[in-house]
Structure 1
Amino acid sequence: MRQTLKAIDALNKLVGIAVAMILGVMSILIIMQIIYRIIGYPLHWSEELARYLMVYLVFLGSSLALRHHRLVAIELLPELVSEVNKKVIRITVMVICIVFFVLLLVQGIDILNRVSVQSSAAMGLSMSIPYAAIPVGAMLLIINAVAVILETIVSEKLPPAKEEGL
Structure 2
Amino acid sequence: MQQVVKMVDTLNKAVGFILALMLGVMSILIIAQVISRFFIHFPLTWSEELSRYLMVYIVFAGASLAMRHNQLISIELLPESLGFKKRKILIIFVMILSIVFFGILFFQGLTMLEHVSLQTSASLGISMAVPYAAIPIGAVLLALNSLALILELSSKKEDDK
Instruction: Give the whole-Å Cα distance in 2 for the aligned partners of 1:76 and 1:135.
Output: 31
Q: What RMSD, in angstroms, separates the aligned Cα atoms of the two structures?
A: 1.3
Partner of 2:23: 23
Give the 5 Å matches for 1:17-166: 17-38=17-38, 39-157=40-158
Secondary structure of 2:74 counterpart: coil
Deviating beyond 6 angstroms after TM superposition, the runs of 4 or more aligned structure 1 residues are none
Structure 2 alignment gaps of length 5 or more: none
Displacement, 1:156?
A: 1.6
Partner of 2:7: 7
Displacement, 1:134?
A: 0.3
Displacement, 1:122?
A: 0.8
Displacement, 1:25?
A: 0.3
Cα offsets for 1:22-55 (capped at 9, x unmatched): 1000000000000000211100011100000000
Aligned residue identity for 1:5 = V
Secondary structure of 2:71 counterpart: coil
Aligned residue identity for 2:82 = V
Secondary structure of 1:118 counterpart: coil
Alignment TM-score, normalising by the size of structure 1: 0.94
Instruction: Give the whole-Å Cα distance in 2 for the aligned partners of 1:62 and 1:80.
Output: 26
Secondary structure of 1:25 counterpart: helix
Instruction: Give the whole-Å Cα distance in 1 for the aligned partners of 2:93 and 2:21.
Output: 34
Partner of 1:164: none
Alignment TM-score, normalising by the size of structure 2: 0.96
Structure 1 alignment gaps of length 5 or more: 161-166
Partner of 1:163: none
Displacement, 1:159?
A: 8.5
